[in-house]
Structure 1
Amino acid sequence: MDLMFNISGLTNDEEEFSSSKKDVLKFLKIIGVDSRFISYTPQKIYINNLRFSKFSRKREATFNKQYPEIEVVRNKLFQKICSKSSRHLALEIEPNSRILVPEDNFMIELLLEPYTRKYGVELVRDGEYDLKVNPIILDDEVNGIFEGIFNGEGLNFNHRDDEIYPLANVSLEWINSFLEMDGHELVENKNKNELATSFSEFLDDVAPQYKENVVKASEFIEKKLEAEK
């Protein structure tokens, strides 16, 4: 049973916790939360995986007593986004690597922040890096595939070994639904090809789950062609 935590016996009598990231994460560890499965921001703690984080309601109550100014976000849609994103990141991220992240991309930063603890990566905005974030989303990836086909170019295989794709299997609808709920500016498709967009909208009406299947088919063909070289 998950009991209300009395942290007085777990810390030194004179120990105080500041609002620094280091102290917040330290306090979470003391009360039994696994910070590898939460995303930290100074204003909010976002739960990525409720089960693995062990961030129960009782632990949340204990946390709020120490940090009443920091909100704990239990957004199920965000947890689904994290689950989808992790399928790519688990295969793409190398431990202790330096990852170049784009400027002003709240979603990317939120998804990658836990990997500084999970894999020991360092997120950088300039300078040398091992991996670079490509912020392409599922909708743009699918539209890019359709655009290449409609233009007679065939499939465009644009994935690079030195890039990671946190949002490549996350839809614009999911991203914007979460951003709207969390009070952030919405994002738009980067691929504006009219024919590809129209075809995607048509398929949305008749086969709503088609996008991931299109990407999987493209990846399968790419791997098959690579193996035949």
Structure 2
Amino acid sequence: MDLMFNISGLAETEKEFTTSKRDVLKYLKLIGVDSRFISYTPEKIYINNLRFSKFSRKREATFNKQFPEIKVVRNKLFQKICAKSSKHMALEIKPNSRILMPEDNFMIEILMEPYTRKYGVELVHDGEYDLKVNPIILDDEVNNIFESIFEGDGLNFRRDDNEIYPLANVSLEWINSFLEMDGQKGLDCENKNELANSFSEFLEDVAPQYKENVVKASEYIEKKLEAEK
């Protein structure tokens, strides 16, 4: 059942709102939407978490009357990606930190945008920073592990304390499926090691859920080795 929200005064104030980010977010708050759980872009509003955002169909209709040029995206796959990503972000992001963003990565941009409101972070593309976004995806993380093993290096734990990993547990398939639905350019795997990729393709056929298990096993070994130091 849709939650009731107070629209008294909207008629008087509607003309005061522009399409600036500040005004759009202000209007969302006014109609009862929690903007910590949506991603803002000038053309689209992406719902990260439907329940927590409180972005009901009724609120969407109210929003569309004021901003007909801004589309509200209710993509279930994107919401799943956000849920997976948030598990890392909750542990890695420090409130009010400056975060260095990668260039030309739409997926990272819309995933990180809400954290400017959730944790008060500042997203920057140059200059000084406290944390840096590493855009590695799940497929590359797994292939990096396989490559290290096949080359006789054992497990290389490549994570840095000053980096955050929004896509480290999100598969390329999920990412590109969403990007295609949204009319965006897809991503490619960075790891091009033939043996690692071939082994991944083999495992994909026999054990489709293997990727997250490989990463979990690697993280478990890393923690165990750290504890023994």
Shorter chain as denominator, the TM-score bin is over 0.9
1:15 CA displacement: 5.7
Which residue of the partner structure matches residue 204 of structure 2?
Answer: 204
* 2:177 match: secondary structure: helix
Which residue of the partner structure matches residue 114 of structure 1?
Answer: 114
Which residue of the partner structure matches residue 43 of structure 1?
Answer: 43
* 1:132 match: secondary structure: strand
Equivalent-residue separation in structure 2 for 1:150 and 1:3 (angstroms): 55
Which residue of the partner structure matches residue 18 of structure 1?
Answer: 18
Equivalent-residue separation in structure 1 for 2:13 and 2:167 (angstroms): 45
1:26 CA displacement: 0.2
Q: Is the 8 A contact 1:4 1:62 kept in 2?
A: no
**Superposition map of 1:27-42 within 5 A:** 27-42=27-42
Instruction: Please report the TM-score for the alignment, with normalisation by the length of structure 1.
Output: 0.97
**Superposition map of 1:64-79 within 5 A:** 64-79=64-79
Structure 2: where are the runs of 5+ without partners?
Answer: none
* 2:170 match: secondary structure: coil
**1:100 is matched by which residue type in structure 2?**
L
Which residue of the partner structure matches residue 138 of structure 1?
Answer: 138
1:7 CA displacement: 3.1
Equivalent-residue separation in structure 2 for 1:164 and 1:3 (angstroms): 35
Q: Which moved more, 1:7-16 or 1:72-81?
A: 7-16
1:2 CA displacement: 2.7
**2:216 is matched by which residue type in structure 1?**
K
Tell me: CA distance 1:152–1:33, structure 2 relative to 1, closer, same or farther (3 Å).
Answer: same
1:184 CA displacement: 0.6
Which residue of the partner structure matches residue 186 of structure 1?
Answer: 186
Equivalent-residue separation in structure 2 for 1:80 and 1:13 (angstroms): 35
Equivalent-residue separation in structure 1 for 2:131 and 2:3 (angstroms): 42
Tell me: CA distance 1:134–1:6, structure 2 relative to 1, closer, same or farther (3 Å).
Answer: same
Structure 1: where are the runs of 5+ without partners?
Answer: none
User: Cα RMSD (Å) of the superposition?
Assistant: 1.5
* 1:72 match: secondary structure: strand
* 2:94 match: secondary structure: coil
Tell me: CA distance 1:146–1:34, structure 2 relative to 1, closer, same or farther (3 Å).
Answer: same
Tell me: CA distance 1:22–1:66, structure 2 relative to 1, closer, same or farther (3 Å).
Answer: same
CA-to-partner distance for each residue in 1:127-157, whole Å, 9 max, x for gaps? 0000000000000000000000000100010
Q: How many residues align?
A: 229
1:3 CA displacement: 6.8
* 1:81 match: secondary structure: helix
Instruction: Please report the TM-score for the alignment, with normalisation by the length of structure 2.
Output: 0.97
Tell me: CA distance 1:128–1:11, structure 2 relative to 1, closer, same or farther (3 Å).
Answer: farther
**1:50 is matched by which residue type in structure 2?**
L
* 1:123 match: secondary structure: strand
CA-to-partner distance for each residue in 1:148-185, whole Å, 9 max, x for gaps? 00001000100000000000000000000000000011
Which residue of the partner structure matches residue 171 of structure 1?
Answer: 171
* 1:7 match: secondary structure: coil
Tell me: CA distance 1:3–1:199, structure 2 relative to 1, closer, same or farther (3 Å).
Answer: closer
Which residue of the partner structure matches residue 82 of structure 1?
Answer: 82
